Amino acid sequence: MIFGDLIKQIKKNKVHMTLIDPASQSPKKTAEIARSADEAGTDYLMVGGSTDIDRRTLDESISFIREVTDKKIIIFPGSDSMVSERADAIYFMSLLNSTSLEFVIGHQSRASQFIKATGLESISMGYIIVEPGMTAGKTGHADLIRRGDNKRALSYALAAELFGMKLVYLEAGSGAPEHVPLEMISFVKSKLGIPLIVGGGIRTPESAKQVALSGADIVVTGTVAEKTENVRGSLEPIIKSIKSVQ
Ligand code: 1GP
C-alpha cells in the first residue's frame, strides 16, 4: 500500500514529490518530465492540478508515465473527473478553507463510488490554501489563510487530524512568488500529529531545505520541472537539499 510505504519513508527521511499537471502539456511530454524527475531522485509522482481535465487525458498521461518509470503515481485531483484506476493511489482531499461545499465534499461524493468500485487506494488529506493561493485558491473558492495567521492554519490542520484524515497539505499555490511562510510551517508542525505536506512556490535548493527544516515531511515541487529544458538538472539539487535534512 502506498500510504504504508510513505509513512515508513517519512520516518527515515524527508520525502520529495514531483507534481506534474497533465493539463499543461501532452501526455508524452508529461511522461518525459516524469522520467527526468525519476532520474533526479524524486520519491513519488503526483499527477493532477486545479485545471480540470477529462478522464481519458488523465488515463493516457498515466499510461505514458508507466512506460518510462516505476515510480508510484498518486493522483492530485482538481475535480471528480480526475480519477483513474491506472494510478497507484489518489489523494482523497477536501479543500477545508473553501467557501464552496463543492470543494469540501461535492466532487468527493461524486468520485466516491468509482474509487470504491475500482479499489484505487485513497489517501485522505486536508488541503489548506495559504496566500497567495494562485489558481488553486481561485478555482477552489478558498478563503485564503493570511500569511501571518498561523493560528488559523493550525485550526484547519488540527480539524483535518480530528476528522481522521491521514495527511495535511499546506499549499501556497502553484507558481506562487513565495512559498508558505516558514514560521507557519513550524507552528503547524509543532502541534500536528499527522504528516505535513508543503508545496507551492518552492524553486530553489535553499528554500526547499528551509521548508523541510521547518517541519514539512513531504516537499512538493511542480513548476520548477515543468518550466525548464533541463528537468533533471533543476530537480537534483532541490531533492539533494531536502534529503540532507534529518
Ligand atoms: C501546487 O504545491 C504544488 O499544488 C506545486 O507548486 O508549481 O509552485 O512548485 P509549484
Segment 83-139, tens digit of pLDDT:
999 999 999 999 999 999 999 999 999 999 999 999 999 999 999 999 999 999 999
Query: What is the share, in percent, of the chain residues with pLDDT greater than 70?
Result: 100
Bridge-partner residues for 44, per DSSP?
Answer: 17
Map out the domains of the chain as residue ranges.
2-241
| Domain range 2-241, CATH architecture | Alpha-Beta Barrel (3.20)
pLDDT at 51: 85
How confident is the model over 185-241, as pLDDT tens digits?
Answer: 999 999 999 999 999 999 999 999 999 999 999 999 999 998 899 999 999 999 999
Mutate which of 174, 224, 231, 239 to test ligand 1's pocket (most atoms within 8 Å of Cβ)? 174
Going by alpha carbons, the residue nearest to atom 1 of ligand 1 is 174
Mean pLDDT of the chain: 97
How much is the CA Rg of the chain, to the nearest whole Å?
A: 16
Nearest-atom index, ligand 1, CA of 224: 9
What confidence category does residue 52 fall into, taking pLDDT thresholds of 50, 70 and 90? confident
Distance from residue 117's CA to the centre of ligand 1 (Å):
30
CB count within 10 Å of CB 23 equals 17
pLDDT at 155: 98
The cell numbers describing 50, all together, are 486545479
pTM (whole model) above 0.85: yes
